[in-house]
A and B are shown apart, each in its own frame.
Chain A
Amino acid sequence: MSSATSQRSQGTPARRSSNVVPHVVLCIGAVFMVGPFAWEVLTSVKTFAASIHVPPVLVPNPFEWHNYLTVFQTLPFGRLFLNTVLMTVARTAGQVIFCSLSGYAFARLHFRGRGLLFGLFLSVLMVPSQMFLIPQYQIIQHLGLLNTVAGLSLPGMFSAFGTFLMRQFFMQLPVEMEEAARLDGANPLQTYWHVMLPLSAPGMLALGILVAIWSWNDLLWPLVVNTDPAKMPLSAGLASLQGEHLTNYPVLMAGALLASLPLIVAFIVFQRHLIQGIASTGIKG
């Protein structure tokens, strides 16, 4: 199959086959993807009796907005949201900054023991986070940071994965500009700040997006490190809501919707960057 024949990237209109079947298939799939959300929204304004009615009630009548009030009465929702935002920002900022620094150091700087040190980083990569959990808890405890947002964020601000990702990224950037800067007498830090940092924006974006999503959704660590309900992030708070309201579906759906709305909205607004970022991690792999 030689590619010399055709430079055109699109097929000729005459040969394009109908896309009806694919559309149908994709639509059915989309219904499966979005259907649960629709049901969540509808249930959140039903009374409990309506939510357990068989056959299922499609349009709630009456609209029970009180469920949302119950959520706010059970959880300090504003605080939970603030905790989640702060924790996500801290972890994302930490990883993006520290990992791009270390990623650059591994990619472009020469020093003794670089190989060994990088091998050490890689070995950390292979270890599941549960291996760190209990000692991390004790360290945070000794630092007196239990039940704080700092305690939530601190261990997640450093990452071997992030270093690896940024290193991969830096290695694929052209050397010339950097060389020029170095020959002009700039030290590595200046080179990094003035030359490499702007060029690495896509990589930092990709890393930032992944870390932000992961931080927002993290459940196990917040469960372990914070026992004070007012210091929890949204994920743990939602788990707490379920513990209180058991199977009171409308209240649970209201809480679930409120808790996941911020990230969904952010996604819809920034979706192009987000998807680009995630896709780029795959191609390099």
Chain B
Amino acid sequence: MTKTTRSRIASWRGGALLLCLCALVGLAGCGSSGNNGSSGGKVTLSYAVWDQPQVPATKRIISEFHRSHPNIDVQVQVTPWDDYWTKLRTAATGGSAPDVFWMTLAYFKYYAKGGALMPLDSQIDASHVDMSNYVPAIRSAYRFDGKTYGMPRDVNSFGLFYNKKLFKQAGLSAPDGSWTWADVTAAARKLTDKSRGVYGIVAPEVDELGWYLTIPQAGGYVLSPDGKQSGYDQAASVKGIQFWVDLVNKYHASPSLQQMTDTDPLSMFTSGKAAMYYGGSWDPVAISAVPYAKANVDVAPLPHDATRLFYSNGLANTIYARTKHPKEAWEFTKFLASKRAADINATTGTVIPAYKGEADNYVRSMPWMHLQRIVDQLPNARPFPSTIDTSVWRDNATKEFAKAWTGQETVPAAAANVTKQMNAALADEGK
């Protein structure tokens, strides 16, 4: 072999060895910093959330917590809503779920029954937390089998967000507390301008911001009080859904389901492509982040029908049953449920805290919007329909009603199908 060949061979082998070493070092280095590290008394907790716009306020809360608890670090893990529950369940089954995470009523009972959540009563007693500080509805919603599993975080209310500029251009007066469904429909039709690609309203095929508001307003219900019967086939419930479907298919005042899948409804509203949007108390932060929307959007009370009632949710912070740091996780969760944390959430306009007495802070946080109108609706809230395995029948309903949105099925036919599936699922739960 010549000298050059020898040196080239040497460099190849050297390269191979280097590659080997890199791999080993990389694996070793990253393998050890796997799950929550705790070295020398310092503990790192993971906190899972799904809503990116709420992260800034959350990070402020964490930094304040860290000042009083310097040995505890908290890492926020943001997973988009569509993936959040998938990942959480996989992680919970695999023993690697985050230490503290957001919980919602739709999934609460499933997780509580499945033993994935840590009961908090003993910690609450030991820390002398006064549970009467929280909105009773949320407080009791996160109890299961006589135990408390979640610390209330927020309570949801809703409003009709509208584009002031588009209303003025169409010569319409702004919505107010007197509006009924008929007013919404009439305004939506007037505001729709196909030539400019503008719609009067967005009518997304969702329950929480859609028919969970209109069904109670029409006097119907989704779940019977004993939790064993579906109410979707009631005439009033059908009416509540028909309201949305007509906006899409009859009056063409809303984009189609295909359009709203193609482009997200909230972005259509904040970019001026739609004039009205039924939104939640957590939406103002996202809406105000868009300069055009901040300048032109305001909110009115929800239009009513026979009643003003609506279904309302509220989040809680829960602790993973198999967390490796139960004491630290409780310290953090306790802080998350404290008045200080509620202050931060309210003054940033992020959510209406479940801690009583923060509503004024929330209202004052964004003077360019009449948030008071959202808060005023709270007395009309009714408990979010949930059973042991809510997602089975809820996802089914969403899938079935999509056919009504695309005109494949009439609303009564879809409602009848949903009721059948839902009752079967509820019967299965009883077994």
Contacts and interface: CB of A to CB of B under 8 A. Distances in A.
Contacts of A268: none
A228 B46 contact: yes
A197 B267 contact: no
Nearest to B77: A229
B267 A48 contact: yes
Interface stretch (A34-42, A90-98, A125-133, A162-170): A90-98
B13 interface: yes
Contacts of A52: 263, 271, 273
Nearest to A224: B90
Given A48-B271, A48-B290, A92-B19, A230 B75 contact: yes
A198 B26 CA distance: 26
Nearest to B52: A244
Interface string A75-95: 000000001001001101110
A147 interface: yes
A145 B13 contact: no
Contacts of A96: 16, 19
Contact of B34 (A48, A74, A94, A145): A145
Contact of B77 (A201, A204, A230): A230
B30 A197 contact: no
Per DSSP, are chain B's interface residues mostly helix, strand or loop, or mixed?
helix
Per DSSP, are chain A's interface residues mostly helix, strand or loop, or mixed?
helix
B340 interface: no
Interface residues of B, number: 46
B126 to A, nearest CB: 30
Interface string A126-169: 00000000000100010011111111011001000000000000
B27 A153 contact: yes
Contacts of B13: 193, 197-198
A105 B264 CA distance: 56
Contacts of A245: 52
Interface residues of A, number: 45
A243 B81 contact: yes
A199 to B, nearest CB: 9
Interface in A226-241: 227-230, 240
A130 to B, nearest CB: 16
Given A90-B26, A230-B77, A240 B83 contact: yes
B267 A248 contact: yes
A224 B91 CA distance: 10
B147 to A, nearest CB: 26
B31 A227 contact: no
A61 interface: no
B78 interface: yes
Contacts of B182: none
A137 B96 CA distance: 12
Listed residue (B30, B79, B83) with the most chain A CB atoms within 10 angstroms of its CB: B30
B118 to A, nearest CB: 19
B9 interface: yes
Given A227-B96, A247-B267, A89 B31 contact: no
A194 to B, nearest CB: 8
Contacts of A86: 26-27, 30
A242 B79 CA distance: 11
Contact of A148 (B30, B78, B267): B30
Interface in B11-45: 12-13, 16, 19-20, 22-23, 26-27, 30-31, 33-35
B66 interface: no
Nearest to B33: A148
Contact of B12 (A147, A201, A228, A243): A201
A180 interface: no
A191 to B, nearest CB: 14
Given A48-B271, A201-B12, A74 B19 contact: no
B197 A54 contact: yes
B8 interface: yes
Contacts of B35: 144, 146-147
Interface in A62-117: 74, 83, 86, 89-90, 92-94, 96-97
Nearest to B87: A227
B30 A243 contact: no
A247 B263 CA distance: 6
B181 to A, nearest CB: 28
A166 to B, nearest CB: 13
B264 A247 contact: yes
Contacts of B114: none
A246 interface: yes
A195 B9 CA distance: 9
B251 interface: no
A94 B23 contact: yes
Contacts of A150: 27, 30-31, 34
A149 B27 contact: yes
23 contacts: A48-B267, A48-B290, A49-B272, A89-B26, A97-B16, A141-B96, A145-B34, A146-B95, A148-B30, A148-B31, A149-B26, A157-B23, A193-B13, A198-B12, A224-B90, A227-B88, A228-B77, A228-B98, A230-B75, A240-B79, A243-B80, A243-B83, A246-B267
Interface of A: 48-49, 52, 54, 74, 83, 86, 89-90, 92-94, 96-97, 137, 141, 144-151, 153-154, 157, 193, 197-198, 201, 204, 224, 227-230, 240, 242-248
Given A153-B23, A197-B9, 16 more contacts: A48-B267, A90-B27, A97-B19, A141-B94, A144-B35, A193-B13, A197-B12, A198-B8, A227-B90, A227-B97, A228-B98, A240-B80, A243-B80, A243-B82, A247-B267, A248-B267
List the 8 closest A-B pairs by CB distance, nearest first.
A243-B80, A149-B30, A150-B31, A246-B264, A93-B23, A198-B9, A148-B34, A86-B26
